């Protein structure tokens, strides 16, 4: 891989984007990512971490240089544009609908395509610091490729409209307040790996079921969403792992059960909200 540095820690794969000095996303890197996504369908891969391999950058945004290189070939660009954007949608949705949970460590500036990529992941951890997160596309005279649809579903219609039309970018705490990221950490990469390792320790059937129920059901009518959730629940309840864990839970004294749930979940962020 030219643009992605990949390592595996047990059941967790860490893929770090490396395109110094700016860490702009480029077309060749998206092709590499498509290959990686297919490899993550392996049941031995229980969780994935996406991060940056350039200091103070996750994926800054898509390479504007690549786009303006088409200035003298507008007809060719127009002819290719439909296929390009649909291919990009296919790539990002294959990431979103991958059964394997994906945690993204936004280790610096994350705008445009970098944020789109992040919004298609399951858990987003931003690095604390003087970094910018957002969609600058309207200021450049263009539009996001998938950002409008994802952002509206995550932070709501009104906030997304304001965010996109004004080409807003925010710092990590601002992104947390809006709900764009789920955590802010001093070391986003380390925290993302911790979360991924916690997910890898859970029942794979339950983790996959949770991801499918939300991704496939949340934008459907309630009845359809409940049908999907019921189908996933039925898969979990018959597993030996589920029965073993439930038996272990009910073997605990009542006063110890909250602690059991906390101990067996993914650890919360240090200093964050107390679970359970």
Confidence check: pLDDT of 82 > 80: no
The answer to whether the beta carbons of residues 135 and 164 sit under 8 Å apart is yes
Confidence check: pLDDT of 77 > 90: no
The predicted structure's pLDDT at residue 79? 77
pLDDT tens digits, one per residue of 12-54: 999 999 999 999 999 999 999 999 999 999 999 999 999 999 9
Mean residue pLDDT of the chain comes to: 91
Alpha carbons 114 and 35: distance in angstroms, whole number: 18
Percent of the chain with pLDDT over 70: 96
Domain boundaries, the chain: 4-199, 203-264
Size of the chain, expressed as the number of residues it contains: 276
The predicted structure's pLDDT at residue 269? 67
pLDDT tens digits, one per residue of 229-257: 999 989 998 899 889 999 999 999 999 99
Task: Tell me the CATH number of domain 4-199, given options 3.20.20.70, 3.40.50.620, 3.10.310.30, 3.90.226.10.
Answer: 3.90.226.10
The predicted structure's pLDDT at residue 74? 78
Label the pairing between strands 4-9 and 12-17: antiparallel
Sheet holding 12-17, edge to edge: 4-9, 12-17, 47-52, 102-106, 123-127, 183-185
Residue 271 confidence class, pLDDT cut points 50, 70, 90: low
Alpha-carbon dihedral sign for residues 66, 69, 74, 79: negative
pLDDT tens digits, one per residue of 137-165: 999 888 888 888 899 999 999 999 999 99
């Amino acid at each position: 891989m030219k643009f992605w540095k990949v390592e595996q820690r047990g059941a967790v794969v860490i893929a770090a984007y490396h395109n110094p000095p700016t860490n702009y996303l480029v077309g060749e890197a998206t092709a590499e990512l498509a290959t990686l996504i297919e490899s993550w369908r392996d049941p031995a891969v229980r969780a994935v971490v996406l991060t940056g391999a350039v200091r103070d950058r996750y994926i800054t945004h898509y390479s504007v240089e690549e786009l303006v290189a088409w200035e003298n070939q507008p007809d060719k660009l127009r002819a290719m544009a439909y296929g390009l954007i649909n291919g990009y949608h296919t790539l990002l949705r294959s990431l979103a609908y991958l059964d394997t949970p994906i945690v993204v460590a936004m280790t610096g500036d994350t705008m445009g395509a970098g944020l789109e990529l992040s919004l298609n992941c399951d858990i987003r951890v931003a690095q604390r610091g003087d970094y910018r997160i957002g969609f600058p596309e309207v200021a450049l005279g263009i539009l996001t490729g998938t950002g409008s649809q994802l952002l509206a579903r995550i932070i709501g219609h009104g906030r997304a409209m304001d965010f996109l039309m004004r080409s807003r970018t925010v710092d990590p705490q601002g992104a947390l307040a809006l709900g764009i990221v789920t955590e802010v950490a001093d070391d986003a990469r380390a925290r993302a790996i911790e979360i991924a390792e916690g997910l890898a320790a859970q029942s794979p059937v339950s983790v996959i079921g949770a991801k499918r129920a939300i991704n496939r059901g949340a934008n459907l009518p309630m009845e359809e969403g409940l049908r999907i959730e019921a189908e996933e629940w039925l898969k979990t309840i018959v597993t030996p792992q589920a029965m073993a864990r439930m038996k272990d839970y009910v073997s605990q004294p009542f006063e110890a059960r909250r602690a059991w749930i906390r101990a067996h979940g993914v650890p919360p962020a240090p200093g964050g909200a107390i679970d359970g």
